[in-house]
Structure 1
């Protein structure tokens, strides 16, 4: 009987992989419940015992800090932008990049907003909490995003009126000042309209 159980036992998981698995399970729960989420809920979502959480996180506060760091980390968004095929039309490239950025901002906003609404202690996460080498400043995040978007312009460099880096900064500026939709209303400025005016101008 003991030998059978041993054969069926899952192979050992590294602390890094276990940490990642817990974070993946915790993020949507933190976005929903904020600081009120329990480690028991997270353990059930990750299909592990609650004690397993505390093998890689000292306490719940450290786990919540890691969730904040992960929500702020733009690495996933940047990878999505880098994966956009460069052989498709520029408008399509920009649309995919904008959607990746929108999803990132929504994820970040849902986690930070839920924690704030539930009265969690404010403050920036400690270095390393998110497992990605430390938190990324807002300036660094914007710079890396601008570089990634600039790469999308490179195939059309010879036909551009401005360098890719400058066009990327202008495009991001237009996206980030787009007014948000109010309750019950359609989006005030559609993404396709922004891309159309950006590429073709406002004057016919």
Structure 2
């Protein structure tokens, strides 16, 4: 991504459309770039991915698949935001239409949490807490996990295992 150095002509060529088509939708290049960021931040794709996880899989596999979907979503957001920031683009905040709606982040997290809660449904009778609470805890663990613990990376399967079974290995086995 070329960030703010990208021209509307380059965007149009990449999209396979006439440049004039862009200006039927966007007033200028900054509005287009704001829309790119807004699209990257949408949670719909992550919710669809989580909702498509088969409940027939073991819980660890379901949660690992959901964690990967969320990781991909966060990665897309970070890539777009980083490219725009690095290039000097500043999201327009002056016009009401360009601000995220009030409560948008909370609504996004609620939708993701609800989709995750459904993954706990098959084991609902075995849970110590509600599926919604388990989903909230799992999200907290995902969003706050360090990428590296010392020299050892914490991968998704380790994170899911600790979430489901605790930090202590059964019978001292590792």
TM-score band by shorter chain is 0.7 to 0.9
Structure number with greater CO (CA < 8 Å, separation at least 6) is 2
* Partner Cα separation in structure 1 for residue 19 and residue 76 of structure 2: 25
CA contact (8 A) 2:34 2:92 kept: no
Unaligned runs of 5+ in 1: 1-31
Please state if 1:199 is matched with 2:164. Answer: yes
* Partner Cα separation in structure 1 for residue 66 and residue 94 of structure 2: 27
Cα root mean square deviation, aligned:
2.6
Structure 1 ranges of 4+ moved more than 4 A: 123-129, 133-136
Who is 1:159 aligned against?
126
The within-5 A match list for 1:9-20 is none
* Alpha-carbon spacing, 1:148–1:68, altered in 2? closer, same or farther (3 Å): same
Who is 1:190 aligned against?
155
* Partner Cα separation in structure 1 for residue 20 and residue 148 of structure 2: 43
Who is 1:7 aligned against?
none
* Partner Cα separation in structure 2 for residue 135 and residue 120 of structure 1: 23
Q: Over residues 49-72 of structure 1, what are the superposed CA-to-partner deviations in whole Å (9 max), with x where a residue is unaligned?
A: 211211221211111111111111
* Partner Cα separation in structure 2 for residue 38 and residue 102 of structure 1: 30
CA contact (8 A) 1:180 1:187 kept: no
Give the length in aligned residue pairs: 169
* Partner Cα separation in structure 2 for residue 77 and residue 127 of structure 1: 26
Unaligned runs of 5+ in 2: none
Who is 1:86 aligned against?
55
SS at match of 2:119: helix
* Alpha-carbon spacing, 1:123–1:51, altered in 2? closer, same or farther (3 Å): closer
Give the structure-2-normalised TM-score: 0.86
Give the structure-1-normalised TM-score: 0.74
